[in-house]
Amino acid sequence: MKHFPVYLSVEGQRIVLSGGGEAAVAKLRLLLKTEATIEVFAVKADAEIHAWASDHKLTLIARPLQVGDVDGAALFYAADEDEIEDARTSSLARDAGVLANIVDNLQDSQFITPAIVDRDPVTVAIGTEGAAPVLARAIKADLEERLSPNLGMLARIGKSFRKAAEALPWGRARRNFWSDYYFKAGPRIETKGEAAAQQALDELLFAHLYAGKDAGHVAFVGAGPGDPELLTLKARKALHSADVVIYDRLVAPEILELARREAQLIDAGKTPYGQQTPQETINELIVTHARKGAHVVRLKSGDPTVFGRLDEEIEACDANAVPWHVIPGITAASAAVASIGQSLTKRGRNSGVRILTGHDVAGFADHEWRDLAKPGQVAAIYMGKKAARFIQGRLIMHGADPATPVSVIENASRPNQRVVTSTIATLPTDLANADLSGPALTFVGLTPRSAVAVLPYTKKQELA
């Protein structure tokens, strides 16, 4: 290790920088996050630096750095992007006994600035001693994605709660409490603000003190249309921390892989006899696990609020005083319309879109066919494969043009995605010929924009 990472106290200290161009701006952006007093020496400074100066975020001195200017500073940055000037200013700093960094010059710098992931007061510093800046950036990007933007707030509130948490015995009990706060309760309430976080801490402490463990919880999570990259970050986090995952038939196996290895995975799509699990059984399963204290992820394909029987499960939770929250997902219609390069709504064509099911509890679902039969209307029909002939009949009966385009997208967003281009007149025949076996979404009123757009997802990526 040629460079030793430390966290330097700069609160109330001076940091001096020489330079007014791009390199200076980049460094200043970072330095302005600190509680140091920043002084910039530049004959000519970028507009952004002038703006910071007029906002009193830093002091701009419009002349070259001179002897005496760096005296007593905590750090010095030479950022003139000029070899001779940088050598001159950094030697002034060194003569004054101040640590100097020359931007983009590892060799002559006494210290270097790491890549930083900032969730103040939590900061992660990444350094490669100049060996692989690309690697540092990749690690930073990875961490930025993994650490919630609200982590800093959680940590600040956590810090102010340390005294209260001493009510728990030191050691394992206290560690479990903090672990539950940061990885379970915290992520659930982090977007709800400080008051909610404070309240969650109070409740959590109460639970740990008197119940011995955290109460259970249910997250209704949208798994998206199949492509694991279309999962939200929140969905991924919920999967990472779940004790029990109860998933539907359409949830892709690659997504289940994201659950913890110790998590219990329960297929709610079918019973051992291949029958569909009755809704009451699923409700019971969810509630039973949550009441035992488990963090349950109820994983549904697409978005949980679209044909997901979400309300029945929420009501079961409410009836048993089990807390829950919903994490949205990308619904099949969004993925399907993306694959044909069209919009769900379009100015001058349709100012609204219908989300329909081909099937409901009573069999084929009836809708306002007269409105839908008008030119330019768009409907996204879920579970519509078997209902093709029924839908065709109703639309034509209500005056639709038989030449109205219809697109059926099977396995949207998955490697085996297929698009069937059809019309109302030929829909049942075209579907019979295509012999689709996967989940499929039917768009009435839309046709693929171009040949490229209908290529399967993986092929499209290769082309790009």
Q: Any idea which residues carry the catalytic annotation?
A: 248, 270
Decide: is 439 part of the binding site for ligand SAH (CB under 6 A). Answer: yes
Stretch that binds ligand SAH, among 70-78, 124-132, 200-208, 406-414 (CB under 6 A): 406-414
How far is it, in rounded angstroms, from Cα 230 to Cα 233?
9
The CA radius of gyration of the chain, in Å to the nearest whole number, is: 30
C-beta closer to ligand SAH: residue 109 or 342: 342
C-beta closer to ligand SAH: residue 86 or 313: 313
| Closest among 306, 353, 359, 341 to 419, alpha carbons compared | 341
At its nearest, how many Å lie between ligand SAH and the CB of residue 271?
19
Decide: is 36 part of the binding site for ligand SAH (CB under 6 A). Answer: no
Decide: is 408 part of the binding site for ligand SAH (CB under 6 A). Answer: no
Judged by CB under 6 A, which of 303, 326, 379, 394 binds ligand SAH? 303
Q: Could you tell me whether strands 75-78 and 99-102 are parallel, antiparallel, or unpaired per DSSP bridges?
A: parallel
Q: In 3-state terms, what secondary structure has residue 286?
A: helix
Decide: is 307 part of the binding site for ligand SAH (CB under 6 A). Answer: yes
Decide: is 407 part of the binding site for ligand SAH (CB under 6 A). Answer: no
How far is it, in rounded angstroms, from Cα 271 to Cα 292?
23
At its nearest, how many Å lie between ligand SAH and the CB of residue 301?
5
Window 188-227: contact mask with ligand SAH (x via CB under 6 A): -------------------------------------xx-
C-beta closer to ligand SAH: residue 330 or 372: 330
How far is it, in rounded angstroms, from Cα 238 to Cα 327?
9
Output the six-digit token pair for 242.
């779940």
Q: What is the 3-state secondary structure (H, E, C) of 192-214?
A: HCHHHHHHHHHHHHHHHHHHCCC
CA angle 205, 210, 216 (to 5 degrees): 70
Decide: is 86 part of the binding site for ligand SAH (CB under 6 A). Answer: no
Judged by CB under 6 A, which of 332, 388, 391, 454 binds ligand SAH? 332
Task: Report how many residues bind ligand SAH under the rule CB under 6 A.
Answer: 23
How far is it, in rounded angstroms, from Cα 333 to Cα 306?
10
At its nearest, how many Å lie between ligand SAH and the CB of residue 222?
7
Exposed/middle/buried for 463, CB within 10 Å: 0-12, 13-18, 19+?
Answer: exposed
Output the six-digit token pair for 73.
């500073």
State residue 374 phi and psi, 5-degree precision: -70, 155
By Cβ distance, which residue is nearest to ligand SAH? 302
Helices (H), ranges, 111-216: 133-146, 151-160, 162-165, 172-180, 186-189, 194-206
Decide: is 440 part of the binding site for ligand SAH (CB under 6 A). Answer: yes
Length of the chain measured in residues: 464
At its nearest, how many Å lie between ligand SAH and the CB of residue 225?
4
At its nearest, how many Å lie between ligand SAH and the CB of residue 449?
18
Stretch that binds ligand SAH, among 36-44, 112-120, 165-173, 410-418 (CB under 6 A): 410-418
Residues in the site for ligand SAH, rule: CB under 6 A? Answer: 225-226, 250, 300-303, 306-308, 331-332, 336, 382-383, 409, 411-414, 439-441
